[in-house]
Amino acid sequence: MESLYITHVCKIQSQQIILNDKVVFEDVESADLNSFLKNGYKNQAYDYAKFFKMDHLSKLTFLAAEPILQDQDDKNIALVFMNRAASLDTDVKHQQSIQNKEAYYPSPAVFVYTLPNICLGELSIKHKLQTENCFFVSENFDSKLMYNYAEYLIRHKNVDKVLCGWIDVLENEYRAVVYLVEKQGEIEHSRNELEQIFI
């Protein structure tokens, strides 16, 4: 059975965006996550105004996935993501907006993001991916589940590539690790390799 390969890895952590081990953006100055995300977007000169309507989870997903997806012509890319906090960062904002009895003005734009899989919807909308999506909630990155799921989709489900990711955000704590699994490449798709990527 031929191997599958991990071909692109994009990480966002400690105010850096790192694509394939190279730091493509660094912003030590930004005061908070919001500024960092905005600066990251501007730095890459993306032309996608909808970015500014997204919540932090979706913005982080966008910035981690876009460097990989923008060069992909193939639309047959499934999306399998996972995190620990689900949509809690935005849930808190929604909760705050319904808490005040006197000034009760919940925002539909905030509520829309109170589900973790919306970030996948955003990628699908931008890149017109009508493929399979799944979002798992797990205490830590479950390399066994992610490895099996990606292998299964490509080997048995006629999917060409799978974009996998761990995107977790809660207030100013965040970490994103997104990688592409496909049939050709150099680094073997294996649980060992996945664990190395996540160190």
Partner 1 sequence: MSKRVAITGMGIVSAIGNSVAENFDSLKNGKIGIGKISLFETRHQNEILVGEVKMSNVELENSLHLPHSHNYTRTALLGAFAVKQALQQANITDCNDKKTAFISSTSVGGMDFTEKYFYEYFENTEIERFITSHDAGHASHEIAELIGLEGLVTTISTACSSAANAIMLGARLIKSGRAERVIVGGTDALSKFTINGFKTLMILSDTYNTPFDDNRKGLNLGEAAAYLVLEAEEVALAAGKNILAYVAGYGNANDAFHQTASSENGDGAYLAMEKALKVAQILPEAVDYINAHGTATPNNDLSEGRALIRAFGDKVPAFSSTKAFTGHTLAAAAAIEAVYSVLAIQNQCIYPNLNFKTPMQEFHLIPETKFVSAPIKTVLSNSFGFGGNCSTIIFTK
Partner 2 sequence: MENLKTELKEKIIDVLNLEDIAVADIQDTDALFGDGLGLDSIDALELIVLLDKDYGIKLTDPKEGKVIFQSINTMAEYITTHRTK
Residues forming contacts to partner 1 in the complex (CB under 8 A) are: 79, 84-88, 91, 94-95, 98, 101, 104, 106-108, 111-122, 124-125, 127-139, 142, 145, 148-149, 152, 156
Min dist. Cβ of residue 85 to partner 1 (A): 8
| 34 part of the interface to partner 2, by CB under 8 A | no
Which listed range, 44-52, 80-88, 114-122, 190-198, lies at the site for partner 2 (CB under 8 A)?
44-52
Give residues 109-128 in contact with partner 2 (rule: CB under 8 A).
Answer: 109, 112
Separation between Cα atoms, residue 2 and residue 21, nearest integer Å: 26
User: How would you classify the pairing of strands 5-13 and 173-182?
Assistant: antiparallel
Radius of gyration of the chain (CA): 17
Separation between Cα atoms, residue 164 and residue 132, nearest integer Å: 12
Separation between Cα atoms, residue 99 and residue 75, nearest integer Å: 42
| 53 part of the interface to partner 2, by CB under 8 A | yes
| 49 part of the interface to partner 2, by CB under 8 A | yes
Separation between Cα atoms, residue 100 and residue 175, nearest integer Å: 32
Separation between Cα atoms, residue 118 and residue 36, nearest integer Å: 21
| Among the listed residues 96, 107, 148, 192, the single contact to partner 2 using CB under 8 A | 107
| 45 part of the interface to partner 2, by CB under 8 A | no
| 99 part of the interface to partner 2, by CB under 8 A | no
Min dist. Cβ of residue 126 to partner 2 (A): 14
Given partner 1, partner 2, none, residue 191, with its beta carbon under 5 to 8 Å by kind, binds none
Separation between Cα atoms, residue 64 and residue 56, nearest integer Å: 12
Q: Tell me whether residue 112 or residue 170 sits nearer to partner 2 (CB atom).
A: 112
Closest CA to 174 of 49, 45, 88: 88
Separation between Cα atoms, residue 153 and residue 185, nearest integer Å: 17
Binding stretches for partner 2 (CB under 8 A) = 49, 51-53, 105-109, 112
